[in-house]
Chains A and B, each alone.
Chain A
Amino acid sequence: MGDTNLDVSRLTIREAGDLLASGACSAVDLTDALLRRIQDVDSNIHAYVSLDADFALQQARAADEARAQGKSGPLLGIPIGVKDLLNVAGQPCTCSSHILEGYTAPYDATVIARLREAGAVFVGRTNMDEFAMGSSTENSAYMVTRNPVDLERVPGGSSGGSAAALAAGEAIATLGTDTGGSIRQPAAFCGCVGLKPTYGRVSRYGLTAFASSLDQIGPMTHTVEDAAILLQAMAGLDTMDSTTLDVPVPDYRAALQHDLKGMRLGLPKEYFVDGMDDAVRASILQAVDTCRALGAEIVDVSLPHTEYSIAVYYIIATAEASANLARFDGVRYGRRVSPGNDPVEMYGATREAGFGAEVKRRIILGTYVLSSGYYDAYYLRAQKVRRLILQDFENAFATCDALLAPATPTPAFRVGENTGDPLKMYLSDVFTATANLAGICAMSVPSFSTSEGLPVGLQILGPALGETQILRVGHAFEQRKKAVA
């Protein structure tokens, strides 16, 4: 081993890339140091469901060899944590569910194939709410992930493992997925950067679907620049996913600037409501002032249909989930519980034993809203309101380059605080689900922490394919905040 004192706990993709490029350390050193760091701290955090050390070191060696052959690139030899619902050939993909116990992915998700090609190292699989259903990672069938900032608190969810791994210094970068806030909310709770790309910007092929019309894979990183680097490698048309957009991918890193001169940023009044946490409000207003000081013009806007977003979200997401999760039946892969010879009995027993309570709740809800006689009142109406929510954003983006809002109404809540009250738990997605419903891009970057030291997420929302704008805002804010801290 090379540099045994290598501190990976705050290392960014950019910094690690510089170390590798200069020869200060090898990819094997980096992966080894990270694995040791995980070994040291993860017993308190539980960010990873599983590790694949041998495979990771093998990939790292291959990256070192490739570099020796003259290959280079920002992700060559960079270890990445992968949310446990993305298929990596040869690795488990449990979706933090008992029903996928024993399943080994036979293929690479498109983003994994692209990152593999770029030389990234897949070090382990991060914990999540089962099938991405939840906002605290307490719904994992395997373990409760703790928020490294305060172990009594949740890391958020569903990509809680990916966020906690970053905050605990157990990852340089991770992949998350965002269906209603599952990247941005945990990023906000743990104090890292999380970007949900525009629907169709990143291929979903190989992402175990929760709600197909809402899901997107996105980067979770220490810095906005790292998010740009990771997104660059993942984005673009994919023939395996018909919903990807046939639009060239811009140079995201080139969009990063140090000021916001000439930008108009909107403040949606519906995101600053009575009853929201004072500390969160104060933090976001301070962030808004910072953006103003960076040269942005701040204007008030209105997104009048915001109040319906949670209802619409839970109808559409559960409807799609009820079909997407029907394939887990014990016939072809994963867990099978078969008390007799009757396939219907097998389905019942397998799904009863394999799914957790929240997953069952959502399947039942989704089955109900699609049922004959209820479809028009729920699903069809929800789709209509969804179009109104999109219309709200289109109106706002007609005059603004991006919108500023809190990512969540509160900082990280305590473990167990909301588990008895699903509705309260669902409301933690109130500021994030709208971006998924509208298919636009949005990012959470760490804002000013509360007086208790809890992270707060500044959410920057951009129009469809407006990733360059939100990255620019996020980067300028992040740099200024770092300078004044």
Chain B
Amino acid sequence: MVYETTIGLEVHVQLKTRTKMFCGCATGYGEAPNTLVCPVCLGYPGAMPVMNREAIGLTVVSGLMLGCDIAHWSKFDRKSYFYPDMPKNYQISQYDKPLCLGGGVKIDLEDGTEKTIGLTRIHLEEDVGKNTHFGASSGVDFNRAGHPLMEIVTEPDLSSPEEAYAFLQALKQILLYAGVSDCNLEEGNMRCDVNVSMRPVGQQELGTKAELKNLNTFKGVFHALQYEQERQAALLDRGERVVQETRRWDPDRGETSSMRTKEDAHDYRYFPEPDLLPVVLEDAQIDAWRKALPEAPRERRARFVQTYGLPAYDAGVLVAEREVADFFEEAVRAGGNTKAVSNWIMTDVLRVLSEKGVGILALPLTAASLGALTKLVEDGAVNMTGAKEIFAVLANKGGDPARLLDELGLAQVSDTGALEKMVDEAISANPKSVADYRNGKAAAAQYLMGQVMRLSRGKANPPMVLEMLKQKLDQ
């Protein structure tokens, strides 16, 4: 039978705040265990939470970037369950009055069309600690406990592993643009729970869903969903039922396994957190956040196509990272040739970044110097061979392109007399190529051209050389 897949995601995103959600402890990753802790985030008797307003702001900014309605009145609730990584054995979360409602994320489908994945809500909560097992004993590191955690819940609008993957990429890009999270998957900044069900095509009601936990990479989400699709389809094909349950994804074995069924699902016993006041947001405050929003990546891509006349693909590459897109626009503002700057970034700059494993802001190359370099090429002061040499220096040490041009002796030779001497030398030294050319082998001109470039040690102005060669050969 043919089935269709219904997928909904719950994405947990650690916010980039200086301090934790409800105490003054610094947020951090990779510190010695239990060094970023205090009575509040350890759940000591009598300790009380105090709201981190920065976390509220970052969540609202996320909501605005994702097109959500921002709640003027929201509150926090206690979600009770026992687990060793939970300092209080309840998590301060938001139940029925989250900060953000609605919204959506646009993704590109393979057929070139666009699809909007609806969001149900975004709420704010505190992260839990981390358990580690050492054979006979276990340890808990509470450094992470109390880190502000934003939970983004989608509608069941996703219908394939590919769409889920595209959604996560698009979401990550938006959150990075918004500057609300580092979205570093290795450090657990983004973690995902997945709900997936299948039904025969044409059936109205949704199939029974399984919830997948422990998904820390986008690839993991993709593969776990592929596995679940096959598992659930096979069950349905055999006429068996899918059990409503929570399943754990094992990335090493590449399969999901049952964690707990609906019967032993938690009753979280939510009730309003009496230690915190409701969050009241005035219109003026929300408007101020809205006005300060950065341009979203998708809008920026469209603008790059429109304003700079870039191909959609190129625009997509340039806007993938906000800093790269900023760099591009700054280089263009500095007088750089649009198409040339785009090409430099897409090829040489991105290659250098991946070689060095750094972000664009860490490169000695500045946007202004890249713009200036393209201008030198455009003005004929240097040819591409020389420009690449200058770029290599800029990328490693930085500097002024015009000065480098002089220092490296790369100024392009455009003096007619000097060029003519070299062209004549090439013609007289290569009679066979000259004969070939005259016998209709156009490619022979390219060879002669190369000889001139060699004689000029790469500095000859190529269009002028070509022009001169043709004139003399065609005589």
Contacts and interface: CB of A to CB of B under 8 A. Distances in A.
A341 B269 contact: no
B43 interface: yes
Nearest to A326: B89
Contacts of A343: 82-84, 138
A107 B44 contact: yes
B30 interface: no
B361 interface: no
Interface stretch (A1-9, A163-171, A237-245, A296-304): A237-245
B312 interface: no
B206 to A, nearest CB: 22
Contact of A326 (B42, B80, B137): B80
Interface in B72-119: 78, 80, 82-84, 87-90
Contacts of B89: 326-327, 329
B50 interface: yes
A371 B266 CA distance: 10
A135 B39 CA distance: 29
B271 interface: yes
A212 B275 contact: yes
A41 interface: no
A436 to B, nearest CB: 12
A93 B82 CA distance: 23
Given A209-B45, A242-B50, A326-B80, 7 more contacts: A86-B46, A240-B50, A241-B48, A241-B275, A242-B49, A329-B82, A367-B269
A379 B48 CA distance: 22
A213 B277 CA distance: 11
A316 to B, nearest CB: 9
Interface in B43-61: 43-51
Contacts of A106: 39, 44
Which 6 A-B pairs rank lowest in CB-CB distance, beginning with the nearest? Answer: A326-B89, A212-B274, A370-B269, A213-B274, A208-B45, A206-B46
A100 B45 contact: yes
B46 A209 contact: yes
27 contacts: A87-B44, A100-B45, A103-B45, A106-B44, A206-B47, A207-B46, A208-B46, A209-B45, A209-B46, A209-B275, A212-B274, A240-B48, A241-B48, A242-B50, A243-B277, A320-B271, A326-B82, A327-B89, A329-B84, A333-B44, A341-B137, A344-B82, A347-B82, A367-B269, A370-B271, A371-B267, A372-B267
B140 A327 contact: no
> Which of A85, A332, A372: most chain B Cβ within 10 A?
A332
Contacts of A213: 274
Contacts of A109: 46
Report the interface size class on chain A.
35 or more
B136 A341 contact: yes
Interface residues of B, number: 32
Contacts of B82: 326, 329, 343-344, 347
Nearest to B89: A326
A282 interface: no
Contact of A331 (B45, B51, B84): B84
A341 B134 CA distance: 12
Interface string A363-380: 000010011100100010
Interface in A93-108: 93, 95, 100, 103, 105-107
Nearest to B83: A343
Contacts of B271: 319-320, 323, 370, 375, 379
Interface in A329-355: 329, 331-333, 341, 343-344, 347
A367 B80 CA distance: 10
B25 interface: no
A239 B44 contact: no
B276 interface: yes
Contacts of B90: 323, 326
A205 B51 CA distance: 14
Interface in A48-81: none
A93 B267 CA distance: 31
A240 B136 CA distance: 39
A204 interface: yes
A213 B42 CA distance: 21
Interface string B263-280: 000010111001111000
A327 B87 contact: yes
B275 to A, nearest CB: 5
Contacts of B48: 204-205, 240-242
A327 B87 CA distance: 7
A316 B452 CA distance: 92
B43 A327 contact: yes
A2 to B, nearest CB: 36
Given A240-B50, A371-B267, A327 B39 contact: no
B369 to A, nearest CB: 49
Contacts of A241: 48, 50, 275
Interface string B212-231: 00000000000000000000
Contacts of B269: 322-323, 367, 370-372, 375
A372 B80 CA distance: 12
Given A106-B44, A242-B51, A375-B271, A332 B87 contact: yes
A373 to B, nearest CB: 9
Interface in A183-224: 204-209, 211-213
B84 to A, nearest CB: 5
A87 B39 CA distance: 11
Contacts of B39: 106-107
A332 B42 contact: yes
A206 B275 CA distance: 13
Nearest to B23: A240
Contacts of A367: 269
Nearest to B39: A107
B229 to A, nearest CB: 31
A320 B82 CA distance: 16
Contact of B45 (A95, A243, A370): A95
Contacts of B274: 211-213, 243, 320
A106 B38 CA distance: 9
B140 A205 contact: no
Contact of B277 (A86, A100, A242, A379): A242
B46 A205 contact: yes
Nearest to A87: B46
Contacts of A95: 45
Contacts of A341: 136-138
A171 B373 CA distance: 84
Interface in A265-321: 319-320
A394 to B, nearest CB: 20
Contacts of A242: 48-51, 275-277
B359 to A, nearest CB: 37
A107 B51 CA distance: 20
A326 B45 contact: no
> Which of A208, A209, A331: most chain B Cβ within 10 A?
A331
Contact of B80 (A207, A209, A323, A344): A323
Contacts of A327: 43, 45, 87-89
Contacts of B44: 87, 106-107, 332-333
B136 A93 contact: no
A319 B269 CA distance: 9
A109 B45 CA distance: 10
A320 B267 CA distance: 16
A176 to B, nearest CB: 15
A326 B42 CA distance: 13
Nearest to A203: B48
Contacts of B138: 341, 343
A241 B275 CA distance: 7
Nearest to B131: A343
A74 B275 CA distance: 32
Given A239-B50, A372-B267, A323 B78 contact: yes
A239 B49 CA distance: 10
A157 B45 CA distance: 20
Contacts of A100: 45
A124 B122 CA distance: 48
A375 B267 CA distance: 11
